[in-house]
Chain A
Amino acid sequence: MKTPDAPFDAPWQAQAFGLAVALSDAGLFTWTEWTQSFGTRLACGTDYWDAWVQTLEATLTERGIAGADEVDRLAKAWEDAAHATPHGVAIRLG
């Protein structure tokens, strides 16, 4: 049961953590609301950080901030930008 101690295995997990905390700080939702929604997804057996991102996306959809289509489109734009960027250069969205 003992595994390494680092809180994040990948930078995107840290980024997703920071986004949720920042949005809660900004008053978009309370942390109690967050844990209920997140806990429900975890209870379904979803991987921890996948569930975290799903909760973020669902929260933004429910509040009319970002629909799945918009997230899909921008995620594709980020993947395309990564492919178009030479190794060693920071990836930027055009």
Chain B
Amino acid sequence: MPHDHHDHDHDNHLEPMDARVRALETILTRKGLVDPAAIDTIIDTYAHRVGPQNGAAVVARAWTDPAFAEFLARDATAAVASMGYCGRQGEHVQAVFNTPLQHNVIVCTLCSCYPWSLLGLPPVWYKSPAYRSRVVIEPRAVLAEFGLVLPAGQSVRVWDSTAEMRYLVVPMRPAGTEGWAPEALAALVTRESMVGTGLPQVPA
């Protein structure tokens, strides 16, 4: 008996936003303004290849190489470029170093500016209206929701990213890691620790 497909709901259905984005890509491709293969490369790069491991390598090097740490503090854009991490949009990077007296946290109150070349694309919470608005007003309360309770004597400074200036938090090196190689240290450096909503892992 022939199988009748027409009265089933098996056909493909595109969500309206999916259809709209396909329409935009079709128009732009037909006009020669974008190349679908180049778009696939961009998505693959930022979704899979570039990630917090880049920022972790920078932090671990700063922990083990005082000359590099000084370079990173003075001109982070050039310092991270020297390791091959270049922003494609010409943005500058500033490294903000945590100290026992000051903890740093980054946000983009406007939208979701983030150091893509060092951390990949931002997680959902970084883009949420709640994080973007509240971390400026009540940073300690927001950090506590991430499980990070800071000592009373440590102030919190919030850095608001823009398209031109992206920040990287350099957390303090965990105790008990004396003599560790940069590769081993990098494994302790979490994405949250470089946004300032967390701390590096402590050695087991």
A-side interface residues toward B, CB under 8 Å? Answer: 1-8, 10-12, 14-19, 21-26, 28, 30-32, 34-36, 38-39, 42-43, 45, 48-50, 53, 56-57, 60, 65-66, 70-79, 82-87, 89, 91, 93
Contact = CB atoms under 8 A, between A and B. Distances in A.
B16 A18 contact: no
Nearest to A77: B23
A66 to B, nearest CB: 5
Given A1-B142, A86-B12, 12 more contacts: A5-B123, A10-B18, A15-B21, A16-B24, A18-B40, A22-B34, A22-B35, A35-B162, A71-B27, A85-B11, A86-B5, A93-B22
B38 A22 contact: yes
Contacts of A66: 24, 27-28
Nearest to B134: A1
Interface size class on chain B is 35 or more
For the complex of A and B, the 7 pairs showing the least CB-CB separation, nearest first, are A74-B23, A39-B110, A18-B39, A7-B121, A75-B23, A31-B89, A32-B163
B17 A24 contact: no
Contacts, number: 173
A15 B188 CA distance: 32
Contacts of A26: 33-34
B162 A16 contact: no
